[in-house]
Structure formats: structure tokens, C-alpha cells
Chains A and B, each alone.
Chain A
Amino acid sequence: MLKTLKGGIQACVQDGGRRGYRHLGVSQAGVLDPLAMNYANALLHNEDDCAVIEITVGLCQFEFKETTNFAITGSDLGAKLNNKQIISGWRYSAAAGDKLTFSSSKDGLRAYLAVQGGFKLNPVLDSNSTDLQAGFGGLTGNSLKDGDVLDYDSKPPLPSIGAALPLYDKKIRVLAGPHSDLISEEQYKQLFEQHWQVLPQSNRMGIRIDSTLDLCHTQSIPSQAVTPGIVQLPPNGKPIILSNDCQTTGGYPIIAHVIEADLRHLSQLASNQYCSFELVTHQDARKALLEQQQHLAQFKIAINNNDKNAI
């Protein structure tokens, strides 16, 4: 098992998210960076969506109680195995008693930790994702607390291996939203020329951003279904980029929609950092997603070839 010595700011169990229950008001939850989860699992020959630990900010510590192999992806949050620095995007083996610690970084916000074979969990509504708002799923329905233990099957050590993973970007590609005409054409153009600063009230539900542009308005729309990636414009003119724990319906106008391939960049946007938007077409969005899928597929082939004799 993996013992949580220190829960840190926020470490929680997440998988690909909860689907099929949105009409009952159940949020998607799930990892903010699905690609980081996929790569961590690929390094360990796990299923793509096998649950991982999502670590926000860092400052947490874990102890391996049995031999296993693990992988860390996402941002470098100063991870160390027994006080020795380890690298994001790599697989390592751990022996019983080994300690994995994360400090923090001013450049990155989230890291992902997977173990070979995955953690043993009881799915809730077909998912192992922790719904932090509703308080169910994951290990306890909450973020990991000091002393929480996650079970896994012991595995013999594998050689270390790693690869350069796709980088994060602060330029987020978006599609136009259905209520873009709420603001003038000139203002809409300016959306894409601004540097948007991430406000401290941002979390897994949504990222609030602000700039010098005045987008105040008085319009509301009848509540409609919303999902992660939607950029809402509340009357105060400060956009909210909805994230994985967002509610299932919302009544603020939708001015843009982050393309699926770029949702992962939102996982690393820390408060006070700046981001910008680029308007793209549906074709661009499809191409970007396809490229990601192809890169992951190639990565899996390479890992399989490399480990042919090890597994």
C-alpha cells in the first residue's frame, strides 16, 4: 500500500472522470490533465484511464509499503525519492519503506502519480474520481489526508525509463461560443489580444481571469448544460473558464470554448500567472486532438518495445 504521510495542499484520486450522470447533476470531476494521466499509465502498462493521484501545488509525502513501480508526470513539483531528485515523465521502482516527497515549484501547479497495476478502489457511479464538491468517489470522497492508505499489488522492479512529454502552453486555443454576440465585435477581437491574469479564487471548479478590458454586461441566459472548457462571461465582466468540477448547468453567457486538446494546459494555470486565447476552427481542434492521440499511441509502442523482455 501507499501511505499518505502528508496530504499537502491538495492530493486526490482521479481518473478519466464520471460520465453518464450529468443529467442528474453529477459533475464530471477527473484529472485536469488527461494526457499526463495517460502517459503515466503508459509508462506502467496500465489502462489509459487507470486512477492516479493528482497533486496540486505539492508539499505532500508518501511512503511505499511494498515494492512497486511508479511514474510521475505533469509539472516538476520537486519530487524526490528518498531525498534523491526524480524527473517528471519517468518511471521508477520503489522498495518497501521508500519515501516519495513533493516540494513545490513556481512554474508548475500539478503533478500526477501512478503505480503499476493501479490502486485498489471502489468505484462510485462508474468512476474512481474524487468529487470534492459532492464528497464521494476516490478513496474517501475527499482529498488525501495524513495517514490515508491506498492499496496496490506488489510488483517486481522494472528498469527506469522516461521520455519528453508534450509541453504546457499559456496560450489556450478556443472555439467561438454561442453567445459571442453579447459583446461588440471590437471587444471580441480584443479578447484575443489581452493578457489574462489568473485570479486567486480559481480552483478545480473554474479558473477566474481578469484583464484591463471592460466586459461588464447585464445579460443572463436560461440555464443550459455546461462542461469543462466553457468560457463564461458573468455580468462583472471577468471570464470564468469552467474546469472539471464545474456544475452541470449554468446561466452565464458562453463566449468561447477551450479546445479539448488544450484543456490540459488549464491544469497548470496558477493564480497570478497570465494566459492568452487564440481563436481557432473546428478543423484545427480536431487536428490537435488527433495529433495528441497519435503521439500517445507511438509512445505506447516505444514503451512496449523497450519493455519486451522486462515484463
Chain B
Amino acid sequence: MTNNKTYILGERALVIEIAQTTLSQQQQNKLFAMHTWMRQKKVFIDIVPAKTTITGYLMHSQDPDYWLQKMQDAWDNIEPEQYQPRTHKIITQYGGETGPDLVEVANLLELSPSQVIELHSSQAYLVKFLGFLPGFAYLGDLDKQLHLPRLASPRTHVPRGSVAIAQDLTAIYPSESPGGWRLIGQTNMVLFDHHSKTPSIFQPGDIVKFIPSKESIC
């Protein structure tokens, strides 16, 4: 059985936390199954998966203990769910003005810029969860050869569509914002449209692939 703890955060947030820094595929699928179970209960106004947790916000705060117990029972008995992910292909222009950190990233990793592009674009990533900005998806896991800490001093303006890496993750900035991730490319795809009923193209559990554009600097 998976080692987990459940607790009430504040008055109406119920949290399941898996006591590990990264999840196995099996645990990740169990989290997705839990997400489905929680949605079906119709007592949560928001359900937010994160790195090793899933948090449900009760519509009413009367009965948190009851629902916490229900969640623990469900977690103990639930079968991992094979989430049917959608796959997104993100055309990305790497390097140059669109990826201002590519050369430095390559230098720090003792790779060539084209090797960085090759490593970044040759695998499929899982949307682990969204946060930070509307539509900002945390994509993992990045190839071990590409792991670098965040920039020591964050940029005040990261352009919309920037493709970035930090530690074991990669991401795309859906809108302009400040940010401390290293920018290696850019896409002109719209990731978040607040006028749409389904505003984010990415959902937790989806698959993302980066396709280098012809203009990419290799």
C-alpha cells in the first residue's frame, strides 16, 4: 500500500499527500483515479492535483471529517486509472531571440545547443499539474542531462509562449509574466483562452511533445 497521509487544511480543504518527492507511474495513475472519484462526488467546488498531493475544496464546510474519512477509504481501495490523455504537439522555435538562455544552458551542461534541443524534443512529457499562472502546466520529467537550477535572479518579463526548463521540469509560459526558469525556445500556440468554456488546452494527465521548427538554431 502507498504510504500517504490525509489532513484538513483550513476549514474546507481536504488533502491526500503521498510521502515521496516524486511519484511512480502507478501512483500518478492512482492520483488521476482519485481525481475522477472526487469529481463524481459533487461535493467539491475545486479539485487541485499538485506534485505529490491532491486537494479538494468542499462546497460547504460542515462535514470535513466525514469526507476526509471517505477520501482515505477511497484511496485505500481505488484502482489506478489509465487516464486517456490527449497528446499536444507544440511547434517550438529553439534558440536565438526566442530562446535567449539556450547557449548558456548548453555551456553549463557541457552539451551543444543542438544536443539540448535534441534531448528536450525527443521525449513526451506528462502534464503533472497546473499552477503559477492560468494554463501554466508543469511538464515532466525532464531528461536528467538537462537538470539545472532556476536563474539566480528571475526575469521581470518572460514573453508569452516561452519554452523553459528548471530542475526536473519543463513548461511553457501561457502569458507574459515574471519568471525564473531558463528560456530555451518559444511557441506561438495559444495555451489559455479565458473566453473559452475550456480555457486551458492542457489538462492534468495530458501528454506534450515539442517539435523543433525549421527556424530553430541548431
Chain A residues in contact with chain B, CB under 8 A? Answer: 19-27, 124-125, 131, 133-137, 175, 177-178, 222-225, 227, 229-230, 247-249, 254, 257-260, 282, 285-286, 289
Q: Is the CB of B134 within 8 A of A175?
A: no
In the bound complex, CA of A223 to CA of B15 (Å): 13
Among residues of A, the one whose C-beta sits closest to the C-beta of B174 is A25
Among residues of B, the one whose C-beta sits closest to the C-beta of A222 is B51
B177 CB to closest chain A CB (Å) equals 8
Contacts of B131 in A (CB 8 A): 25, 223, 247-249
A-B contact pairs, 18 of them (CB 8 A): A19-B45, A19-B46, A22-B57, A23-B129, A23-B204, A125-B194, A133-B133, A136-B194, A175-B11, A177-B9, A222-B52, A225-B15, A225-B50, A225-B55, A254-B9, A258-B10, A259-B10, A259-B11
Q: Is the CB of A230 within 8 A of B52?
A: no
B1-52 contacts to A, CB under 8 A, are 7-13, 15, 17, 21, 45-52
Q: Is the CB of B11 within 8 A of A285?
A: yes
Q: In the complex where A222-B21, A249-B50 touch, is A25 in contact with B134 (Cβ < 8 A)?
A: yes
In the bound complex, CA of A260 to CA of B62 (Å): 13
- Asked if B199 is at the interface of the complex by the 8 Å CB criterion, the answer is yes
Q: Is the CB of B9 within 8 A of A178?
A: yes
- Give the number of A-B contacts (CB < 8 Å): 116
B161-189 contacts to A, CB under 8 A, are 175, 177
In the bound complex, CA of A289 to CA of B50 (Å): 29
Q: In the complex where A21-B199, A26-B199 touch, is A229 in contact with B21 (Cβ < 8 A)?
A: no
B129 CB to closest chain A CB (Å) equals 7
Q: Is the CB of B10 within 8 A of A25?
A: no
B184 CB to closest chain A CB (Å) equals 21
Contacts of A224 in B (CB 8 A): 15, 17, 50-53, 55
Q: Is the CB of A124 within 8 A of B134?
A: no
In the bound complex, CA of A131 to CA of B135 (Å): 14
Q: Is the CB of B46 within 8 A of A20?
A: yes
Contacts of A230 in B (CB 8 A): 9-10
Q: Is the CB of B200 within 8 A of A225?
A: no
**Of residues A26, A178, A225, A249, which shows the largest number of chain B Cβ atoms within 10 Å of its Cβ?**
A225
In the bound complex, CA of A177 to CA of B55 (Å): 15
Q: Is the CB of B194 within 8 A of A227?
A: no
Q: In the complex where A222-B21, A224-B15, A224-B17 touch, is A178 in contact with B7 (Cβ < 8 A)?
A: yes
Among residues of A, the one whose C-beta sits closest to the C-beta of B204 is A23
Q: Is the CB of B15 within 8 A of A23?
A: no
In the bound complex, CA of A194 to CA of B46 (Å): 34
Q: In the complex where A178-B9, A178-B15, A224-B55 touch, is A25 in contact with B135 (Cβ < 8 A)?
A: yes
Q: In the complex where A134-B133, A224-B17, A225-B13 touch, is A22 in contact with B53 (Cβ < 8 A)?
A: no
Q: In the complex where A224-B17, A227-B57, A247-B131 touch, is A257 in contact with B10 (Cβ < 8 A)?
A: yes
Q: In the complex where A21-B199, A23-B46, A247-B131 touch, is A227 in contact with B13 (Cβ < 8 A)?
A: yes
In the bound complex, CA of A178 to CA of B192 (Å): 32
Contacts of B62 in A (CB 8 A): 286
Contacts of A225 in B (CB 8 A): 13, 15, 48, 50, 53, 55
Kindly identify which residue among B7, B10, B45, B50 contacts A229, using a CB–CB cutoff of 8 Å.
B10
Contacts of A131 in B (CB 8 A): 134
Contacts of B130 in A (CB 8 A): 23-25, 248
**Of residues A136, A177, A259, which shows the largest number of chain B Cβ atoms within 10 Å of its Cβ?**
A136
In the bound complex, CA of A254 to CA of B8 (Å): 12
In the bound complex, CA of A233 to CA of B48 (Å): 21
B69 CB to closest chain A CB (Å) equals 15
Q: In the complex where A19-B46, A223-B131, A224-B17 touch, is A134 in contact with B11 (Cβ < 8 A)?
A: no
In the bound complex, CA of A26 to CA of B192 (Å): 10
A255 CB to closest chain B CB (Å) equals 12
Q: Is the CB of A124 within 8 A of B10?
A: no
In the bound complex, CA of A177 to CA of B8 (Å): 9
- Asked if B136 is at the interface of the complex by the 8 Å CB criterion, the answer is yes
In the bound complex, CA of A225 to CA of B14 (Å): 10
Kindly identify which residue among A23, A125, A285 contacts B48, using a CB–CB cutoff of 8 Å.
A23
Contacts of A282 in B (CB 8 A): 8, 11, 64
B34 CB to closest chain A CB (Å) equals 13
Beyond the given A222-B21, A230-B10, could you list 5 further A-B residue pairs with CB under 8 A, ordered by the A residue number?
A24-B135, A25-B200, A178-B7, A225-B13, A282-B11
Contacts of A20 in B (CB 8 A): 45-46
